[in-house]
Structure 1
Amino acid sequence: MISSHVSSFAGLPVVPFTPGMTLPDDPSAVAWRLEVEDFDAEPEEFAGLMGAMRGQVPADAVRALVIGEWGEAYERPLPIEPLVEAAGAWTGLRAVFLADLTYEQCEISWLRHGDLTPLLRAYPALEVLWVRGAQDLRLEPVRHTGLRELRFESGGLPAEVVRAVGACELPALRRLDLWLGRSDYGGDASVDDLAGVLSGVGLPALRHLGACNAEIADAVAAALATAPVVPRLEILDLSKGTLTDEGAKALLAGQPLTHLARLDLHHHYLSEEMAASVAAALPGVRVDLSDPQTAEDYDGTLHRYTAVGE
């Protein structure tokens, strides 16, 4: 559940753009938010809003951009074509957040996207890319030397996207967050699909890895026990998923984790005894074991849920 919009992005306060508005004294010191007010607006309305911004905000002042409602987000993919077309003018754009919508506007699993590859190719100096939602999301493996932070928030991240991220060459990327999600919301990635990410081959600078909100949290934890990427990490985030004692045991039985600064396991299904064992095994690591969950028994079958689904 996403209940509020971001108030800051890429270290800048978010300011909504409206045609004819009085610009801030320093229009480069804000993250501009573009959003149409009508949830069923036609595509021309969003394109017109972006055109008005291009005409009013100096091109060299556009540093960060947050895209909100674009009209019928549950039926029509977010239009990145106007963003791609603006690349020749917005040469200073360094951070983009696609689809900062709340659940009241559109459930995260309904948010539609298309192919993100043209956006990355159009902005080789882009440093931060956040994407919320993953319905119909596509990505081709690319080499991008500018990207430092990549974040996919979803109720279910397609396996093809996970594999594409692992096949990318991102030499500057320091933070990667993948909300893997649930199979019934399109999260069909397996541990095998994570192989490229866990190898770390295309991610030599990675220091923060999030494999979050995962229905397959136990399998991910077991794979991380021997993953080559782990020794270089400072932060490992397995939060919001369905981690149980089985996954935690496998993680602790693998390679050392004492080099980590933080291990985030909040929203988990660990027993009190196992939670205590994890904390005791990593005395120098900040371990977040908050928000413990209890499996629900339906007709003799235990059900565990990720924090974010629909």
Structure 2
Amino acid sequence: MTIGEHLKALHGLPAYTFPGAAHKPRPVEPDAVAWRVTSDVYDAHEKWTDAFARFCAAVDTTRVKALIVGAWEEAYEDDPTPVVEALTAARDRFPALRALFFGDMVMEECEISWINQTDVTPLLTAFPALEEFGVRGGSGLRFPALGHSALRRLVVETGGLPAEVVRGVAASDLPALEHLDLWLGTPEYGGDSEAADLEPILSGARLPRLRHLALRNSEMQDAVAVAVAAAPVVPRLEVLDLSMGVLTDEGAAALLDGQPLTHLKKLDLHHHYLSEPLQERVRQTLGAAGVEVDLDRGDADEDADDDGTVWRYVAVGE
């Protein structure tokens, strides 16, 4: 599976793409939509920075609450440092900005693991009132540890999340963070973290308000489940999401044999490799206790070589 649709909403606002240079923008209240500013990855007729300049000239940016950064030219080859610089230079023009998503590209524009990224923390530093931040693409992504007192939601979508980024997020002081979603991915696409790298997150020490934890899309989903089973942060969670990865009976059994999970509102395990008896045990243990459990296997599939080697896949890779 790859990403086939652009974001439809951000910060509770419907996404609206700012028109290209050849089209006149229709009247839209600046605070009524999440503005998507984009260029073309291939044969771009306008640079992203030029499209952003037009946007700033046409829209009352002092009222913009949510901004989506779409494709930039040659995203499969060039990192978006000029895009980051343009946004940070315009910080004073966006006093109402509360949500920013960086890299909203679908597979026809650039596959997730081919998106070149950069250090995205200058965006968080430039916008200290930001409550939601998301980024797509792990190649070249950097996230050194930082402090941010307002951020409530952090999403990092990759086919392979570098361990350095996991450690940077884990070492950050985010006292207001309620929702953390990390797509850990596979080693083939740069996902070289280990379950031990998650320990500062699972301790909850720097995340006192965390209620929704997603550690998903991972080849090491069993190891993640084992770590979560005894994690101090779990009792305060409302939603635990270990979906989209290679979760087998081993990991799910460890999760059920660990600390109680009946306090959860939802356990999301969709796209999994659990046997039917283990699925039934999850339903009986948690579903019967009122926990919403997502056990949709989706497109999870496995292949076997002639020598008996079984291959299983995460939901989003390349």
Bin the TM-score by the shorter chain.
over 0.9
2:39 corresponds to which of 36, 43, 52: 36
Runs of 4+ in 1 over 2 A off after TM superposition: 18-25, 37-42, 292-295
1:285 corresponds to which of 287, 291, 296: 291
User: What SS class does the counterpart of residue 47 from structure 2 fall into?
Assistant: helix
Quote the residue 1:106 is aligned against.
Answer: 110
Letter in 2 for 1:189: S
Q: Equivalents in 2 of 1:274, 1:7: separation in Å?
A: 35
Quote the residue 1:158 is aligned against.
Answer: 162
User: What SS class does the counterpart of residue 36 from structure 2 fall into?
Assistant: strand
TM (normalized to structure 2)?
0.94
Quote the residue 2:63 is aligned against.
Answer: 61
Aligned pairs, number: 309
Q: Are the equivalent residues in 2 in contact too, given 1:252–1:278 (CA < 8 A)?
A: yes
Alpha carbons of structure 1 residues 25 and 296: separation in structure 2 relative to 1, 3 Å: closer
Q: Equivalents in 1 of 2:40, 2:247: separation in Å?
A: 39
| Alignment deviations for residues 104-160 of structure 1 (CA, whole Å, 9 cap, x no partner) | 111100111110111111000001111111100001111101111000111000001
Q: Equivalents in 2 of 1:276, 1:303: separation in Å?
A: 24
Q: Are the equivalent residues in 2 in contact too, given 1:181–1:215 (CA < 8 A)?
A: yes
Quote the residue 1:116 is aligned against.
Answer: 120
Alpha carbons of structure 1 residues 230 and 38: separation in structure 2 relative to 1, 3 Å: closer
- Report the alpha carbon displacement of residue 40 of structure 1 after superposing the two structures with TM: 3.9
Q: Equivalents in 1 of 2:110, 2:89: separation in Å?
A: 26
- Report the alpha carbon displacement of residue 294 of structure 1 after superposing the two structures with TM: 4.4
- Report the alpha carbon displacement of residue 48 of structure 1 after superposing the two structures with TM: 1.2
| Alignment deviations for residues 274-298 of structure 1 (CA, whole Å, 9 cap, x no partner) | 0001111112211110126443211
- Report the alpha carbon displacement of residue 28 of structure 1 after superposing the two structures with TM: 1.3
Q: CA RMSD in A?
A: 1.4
Q: Are the equivalent residues in 2 in contact too, given 1:172–1:204 (CA < 8 A)?
A: yes
User: What SS class does the counterpart of residue 180 from structure 2 fall into?
Assistant: strand
TM (normalized to structure 1)?
0.96
Q: Which runs of 5+ in 1 are unaligned?
A: none
Q: Are the equivalent residues in 1 in contact too, given 2:41–2:75 (CA < 8 A)?
A: no
Letter in 1 for 2:304: D
Quote the residue 1:308 is aligned against.
Answer: 316
Quote the residue 1:297 is aligned against.
Answer: 304
Q: Are the equivalent residues in 2 in contact too, given 1:39–1:70 (CA < 8 A)?
A: no
User: What SS class does the counterpart of residue 274 from structure 1 fall into?
Assistant: helix
1:85 corresponds to which of 74, 77, 89: 89
The percent identity for this pair of structures is 51
Is 1:47 paired with 2:49? yes
1:191 corresponds to which of 195, 198, 201: 195
| Alignment deviations for residues 147-181 of structure 1 (CA, whole Å, 9 cap, x no partner) | 11000111000001111111111111110000000
| Alignment deviations for residues 254-284 of structure 1 (CA, whole Å, 9 cap, x no partner) | 1110000000001000000000011111122
Quote the residue 1:8 is aligned against.
Answer: 9
Quote the residue 2:266 is aligned against.
Answer: 262
2:78 corresponds to which of 69, 76, 83: 76
**Which one is further off, 252-261 or 286-295?**
286-295
Quote the residue 1:148 is aligned against.
Answer: 152
Q: Equivalents in 2 of 1:295, 1:32: separation in Å?
A: 40
User: What SS class does the counterpart of residue 28 from structure 1 fall into?
Assistant: coil
Q: Are the equivalent residues in 2 in contact too, given 1:23–1:57 (CA < 8 A)?
A: no
Q: Which runs of 5+ in 2 are unaligned?
A: none
- Report the alpha carbon displacement of residue 22 of structure 1 after superposing the two structures with TM: 3.7
